[in-house]
Each structure stands twice: as C-alpha cells, then as structure tokens.
C-alpha cells in the first residue's frame, strides 16, 4: 500500500523567493516511520524538512529533520509551517501552537505583516572549546560563549563575519553541534549580524537559523541594553529577523523571533 504526501517548499525569513532559508513542510495525519522521515529529509537535502499533524485540541505536533538527524527545536521550519497554516490553509485562524517531539510549546501569531514565534531563550555562557577557534575561523575571536547546542563567537565587525570561511574538519571536531559567528551591524541597517555553520547536521552553512537567535537575542540584548532588535543573517541567501527579548515568564525566559515567508513549490511524494 502506497502513501502519498503533499510537500510544500517555503522560503523563510524573507519576502522573496530564492532568499531566506528554504524548508520542506509536510502535513501528515499520522507520523510516518522515523526512518522514512529521515530518508525524506536526506532526499530533500535542505537544512530542515518538517512534519506536522493536527491534534484533537486544535494545536499541532511538529518534528524537524536535517539531512542527518532529528532536532529538538528549529526556527525557520516552524515559521514556514506557521505560514502554511495561517496564510495558506487556514487564513482566518489567529494563531498556531506547535508541540515539539522534545516537549517545547511554540506559539506563532501575526505581528505587523510578519509572523512572530514565541521561543525559549537559550543564553550562552562562558565556553572553553575543545578546539582552537582561531585555527577554525582564520581570525582571532573577541570572545566565545556557548549553550549546550551551539557555540557563539563574537568577531570585531560585520566585514569579518562576512569574510570568514571556517575549516570544515575543525567544525566537525568541535564539541558543539553548530557554530554561530556574530558581530554588531554596520550603520543603522541592523543591530547585529550572524552566520551559522552546522556540518555535523549535514549543513555546512545554514542560510537563516531561527533557533540560533535563542542564544543571539539574549546575548545582544544584554550587550546593547535594548530588548527590541533587528537582525540579519548574512549568508549568501540572507535573511531578516525581527527580534525581541521577552524576559522571564511561567515557561522561563523567552524570546520572540518574527519574519516573513515566500512559498516556492508544492508537490507530491509517493512512498511505498
């Protein structure tokens, strides 16, 4: 018996096709086997393929897969899925709440022409990496910090972030799944810039990484003394993120990450 699924490809954190970060979004009635979802993510060869299903309470369950592994949390595929639900399939719906496979609850609402995601804050703390970061990056960092998932490296300016070409073998040997490189924005264009490298998940450079801003927002809110921030991820595709530090709540410290999306493609996948 074959299974036919609809697959949407949506560019997240951009208002134009071919910008931002493409995500494959697949609605399902029941979870396919995890090996099938992982194989689809490898076949799609995007940073993330996301699967979601409706719950009896009106919320949604959601799962994220890179080409190599299932993730606990991911930003741009959550935004892409919310765009599919709120802008394409159920445009009269005011908000969408997603429950991850690892216990997080994420609510997405409309905010001034964008979609705003309520995510956990994961502020970085002092970090002594297991590899020399200057060797990996080819430039001496101003400081290094990390949360359990990702390392965060501060460089002197935006030009240094744009110019960096990290060593792949060094990234693969690092004791964090991903490495965030960041610096203050130049001029009035934005508050800070970043790039994100995650070859341990099969993605050398991620075009725009919402979940990295769970660390970047508290880091820059503290350094700049402001809670509302405009961020740019300066990868080749590029993306814009409207950020807000929400502070402590019942669910702990939270951040708001908002952006726009551009649908690119709708197709069907037939599985044996």
Predicted local confidence at residue 252, as pLDDT: 77
What is the rounded (10 degree) CA torsion for 149, 200, 196, 61? -60
Q: Is 48 tagged catalytic?
A: yes
Query: What value does the mean pLDDT take over residues 72-99?
Result: 97
What confidence score (pLDDT) does residue 251 get?
66
Nearest-5° Cα angle at 230, 224 to 239? 135
What pLDDT is recorded for position 151?
Answer: 98
pLDDT at 232: 98
Residue span(s) of the chain under CATH 3.10.310.10 come to: 3-112+258-271, 125-257
What digits encode the pLDDT tens for the residues 50-60? Answer: 999 999 999 99
Query: Global pTM?
Result: 0.96
pLDDT digits (tens, 9 = 90+) for 130-185: 999 999 999 999 999 999 999 999 999 999 999 999 999 999 999 999 999 999 99
Per-residue pLDDT, 12: 98
Segment 11-19 mean pLDDT: 97
Instruction: Give me the torsion for CA of 167, 173, 174, 180, rounded to 10°.
Output: 40
Confidence of residue 272 (pLDDT cuts 50, 70, 90): confident
Distances (CA, A) of 4 to 26, 34, 191, 237: 11, 16, 44, 31
For residue 4, give every residue at least 6 positions away whose Cβ sits within 8 Å of its Cβ, in sequence order, or none: 268, 269, 270, 271
Q: What DSSP line would sit under 55-106, residue for residue?
A: -TTS-EEEEEE-SS-EES--SHHHHHHHHIIIIII-TT--EEEEEETTS-EE
Mean pLDDT score of the chain: 96
Ordered DSSP codes for 190-236? -SEEEEEEEGGGTEEEES--TTTHHHHHHHHHHHHT-SEEEEEE-SS
Answer for the pair 117, 257: CB distance below 8 angstroms, yes or no. yes
CATH T-level fold of 3-112+258-271: Diaminopimelate Epimerase; Chain A, domain 1 (3.10.310)
pLDDT in tens, 214-250: 999 999 999 999 999 999 999 999 999 999 999 876 6
Cα 90 to Cα 88: distance, rounded to the nearest angstrom: 6
Distance CA 87, CA 182 (A): 32
Q: Which one is catalytic: 43, 48, 104, 250?
A: 48
Q: Which of 241, 253, 245 is nearest to 227 (CA)?
A: 245
CATH of domain 125-257: 3.10.310.10
Q: Does the structure show a pLDDT above 80 at 124? A: yes
- Predicted local distance difference test score (pLDDT) of residue 51: 98
Spatial separation of the C-alpha atoms in residues 123 and 213, rounded to whole Å: 9
């Amino acid at each position: 018996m074959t299974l036919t699924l609809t697959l949407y490809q949506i560019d997240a954190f951009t208002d134009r096709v071919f910008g931002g970060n493409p995500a494959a979004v697949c609605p399902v009635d029941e979870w396919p086997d995890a090996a099938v979802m992982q194989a689809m993510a490898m076949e799609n060869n995007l940073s993330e393929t996301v699967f979601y299903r409706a719950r009896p309470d009106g919320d949604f369950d959601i799962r994220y897969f890179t080409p190599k592994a299932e993730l606990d949390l991911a930003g741009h595929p959550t935004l892409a899925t919310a765009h599919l639900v709120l802008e394409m399939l159920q445009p009269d719906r005011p908000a969408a709440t997603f429950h991850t496979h690892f216990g997080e609850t994420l609510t997405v609402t409309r905010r001034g022409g964008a979609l705003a995601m309520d995510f956990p804050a994961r502020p970085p703390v002092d970090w002594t990496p297991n590899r020399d970061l200057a060797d990996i990056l080819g430039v001496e960092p101003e400081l290094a910090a990390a949360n359990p998932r990702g390392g965060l490296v501060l460089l002197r300016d935006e030009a240094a972030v744009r110019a960096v070409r990290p060593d792949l073998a060094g990234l693969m040997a690092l004791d964090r799944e991903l490495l965030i490189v960041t610096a203050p924005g130049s001029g009035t264009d934005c508050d800070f810039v970043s790039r994100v490298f995650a070859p341990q998940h099969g993605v050398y450079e991620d075009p725009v990484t919402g979940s990295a801003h769970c660390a970047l927002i508290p880091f820059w809110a503290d350094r700049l003394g402001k809670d509302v921030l405009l961020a740019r991820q300066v990868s080749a595709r590029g993306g814009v993120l409207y950020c807000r530090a929400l502070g402590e709540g019942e669910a702990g410290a939270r951040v708001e990450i908002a952006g726009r999306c551009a649908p690119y493609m709708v197709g069907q996948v037939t599985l044996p």
